[in-house]
Amino acid sequence: MKHDFQKGLTLIELMAVVTMIVIVTGIVFANYGIGRDSLALERAGQKLYQDFRLAINVSMAGSTQYKGVGIYFKTNTDTDRRQYIMYKNIDNDWNYPADSETVINIEPGVEIGSITSGSPITTAAIYFKSPYPTTYLNSTPTRIPSSISIQLRMINDHNRTRTVTVNNSGMINIAD
């Protein structure tokens, strides 16, 4: 007796495969937002790091047009928390507002959480004087104590932070 069997998928096997595909797709899409937010925070921290490096390098170039370069932070309002200002001074007075400035917007979804230099402060002008990267804080002719920390945080998830620290000799560090 000869048996003819047809090869193929049963409806149950097909439904099992489709169910597995739907579950895997759901897991991937659920984690997509978390990854996107983490990347935004990482990009914002790296951008701030690069802007500090640029300010230090420009101040070390010792231009005759200006005496130093700084970055100004303010955390008084929501708008202030989402941007910072890079500035150049012609005078030797360390002051902000300056002669030339560029407003830099922070990555969407990220804001400045806090600024500390031993204790919390709401406004910080971190200034690098030409021709050395001597670091000054808030328009004072004295160098910053040991370091100042700028904490970036996610707006929609306050548990994620990235801290950028600048010490008094111009060394920059990024930490979680």
Domain that holds residue 104: 11-175
Residue 108: predicted pLDDT:
85
**Residue 66, in any domain of the structure:** yes
**Residue 68, in any domain of the structure:** yes
Residue 23: predicted pLDDT:
93
Assign residue 57 the CATH number of its domain: 3.55.40.10
Q: Can you tell me the distance from the alpha carbon of 111 to that of 80, in angstroms, rounded to the nearest whole number? A: 9
**Residue 2, in any domain of the structure:** no
Residue 18: predicted pLDDT:
93
Cα 9 to Cα 16, 23, 129, 159, 160, distances in angstroms: 11, 20, 74, 48, 47
- For 137, other C-beta atoms within 10 Å of its C-beta total 21
Residue 95: predicted pLDDT:
65
**Residue 6, in any domain of the structure:** no
**Residue 48, in any domain of the structure:** yes
The neighbouring-strand residues paired with 111 are 153
pLDDT (tens digit, 0 to 9) for every residue of the chain, 176 residues total?
A: 677 767 777 888 889 999 999 999 888 877 776 677 778 888 888 999 999 898 888 888 766 677 788 888 888 888 888 889 888 877 766 667 666 788 899 888 888 888 887 778 888 888 887 766 677 777 665 666 666 666 666 565 667 788 888 877 777 888 87
- For 14, other C-beta atoms within 10 Å of its C-beta total 11
Query: Is-contact 135 169, C-beta < 8 A?
Result: yes
If 0-12 CB within 10 Å is exposed, 13-18 middle and 19+ buried, where does residue 126 land? buried
- In the chain, how many domains are there? 1
Q: Write out the E strands in the chain.
A: 68-74, 83-89, 100-105, 110-116, 120-121, 123-129, 134-137, 147-154, 161-167, 172-175
**Residue 101, in any domain of the structure:** yes
Residue 68: predicted pLDDT:
80
